């Protein structure tokens, strides 16, 4: 009996967690059940060259956006590698599509991800990658607009920390609308196909 109760409690916790994640990711239009993804919004951040950037700076361009941090040991470099490889593939197969897409990396660890550090990090991935940082408040505003979860996780005994965070690659339209998403586990081939098909569908 105790084992059954424990199982049911664990199942309930999982269902609640899944429901919360779905609520964060989707805006159901005031309960009407539209299922429209409520992703994106205004932000003010600073790029790897020290220039202030806002959402309006990218108007007219498709945006491939990932939130992460430079000290990330796995998901973030994997996602950025997939993004840059996908864009390189598109540059070969369909240059017209590739030129319309701007890859953007937004830190969720502004305390360590300074402008100078972001510049060095971005250079190791792609010459077109825009790396954005800012104050903790500016980063929190951007993350909230994209419904990105993140929190600091102290590492016992070291005084250091990692960042726990959601890991989505968002494809946004030239007018800032959410179009599609992938994750750091999406292969460059699949991501390139997703970008190509979505851009062409949106244009049509």
Q: Of 83, 78, 37, 35, which is closest to residue 63 (Cα–Cα)?
A: 83
Q: Does residue 101 sit in helix, strand or coil?
A: strand
Pairing of strands 44-47, 130-133: antiparallel
Ligand-binding site membership of 117 (annotated):
no
What residues are paired with 62 via a beta bridge?
Answer: 101
DSSP class of residue 49? Answer: T
- Treating both helix axes as pointing N-terminal to C-terminal, what angle do 188-203 and 75-93 enclose, rounded to 10 degrees? 60
3-state DSSP assignment of residue 123: helix
Distance of CA 109 to the CA centre of its chain: 14
72 carries a ligand binding annotation: yes
Q: In a 3-state reduction of DSSP, which class is residue 112?
A: coil
Residue positions in the annotated binding site?
Answer: 72, 76, 165
Residue positions in the annotated binding site for Cu cation?
Answer: 72, 76, 165
């Amino acid at each position: 009996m105790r084992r059954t109760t424990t199982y049911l409690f664990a199942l309930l916790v999982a269902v609640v967690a899944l429901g919360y994640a779905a609520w964060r990711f989707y805006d159901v239009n005031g309960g009407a059940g539209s299922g429209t993804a409520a992703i994106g919004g205004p932000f003010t951040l600073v790029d790897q060259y020290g220039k202030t950037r806002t959402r309006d700076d990218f108007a007219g361009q498709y945006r491939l956006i990932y939130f992460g941090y430079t000290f990330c040991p796995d998901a973030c470099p994997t996602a950025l590698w997939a993004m840059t490889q996908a864009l390189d593939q598109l540059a070969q197969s369909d240059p017209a599509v590739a030129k319309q897409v701007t890859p953007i990396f937004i830190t969720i660890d502004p305390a360590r991800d300074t402008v100078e550090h972001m510049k060095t990090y971005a250079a190791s991935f792609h010459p077109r990658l825009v790396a954005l940082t800012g104050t903790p408040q500016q980063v929190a505003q951007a993350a909230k607009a994209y419904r990105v979860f993140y929190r600091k996780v102290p590492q016992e005994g070291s005084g250091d920390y990692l960042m726990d965070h959601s890991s989505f690659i968002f494809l946004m339209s030239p007018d800032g609308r959410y179009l599609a998403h992938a994750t750091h586990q999406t292969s460059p081939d699949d991501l390139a196909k997703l970008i190509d098909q979505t851009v062409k569908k949106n244009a049509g």
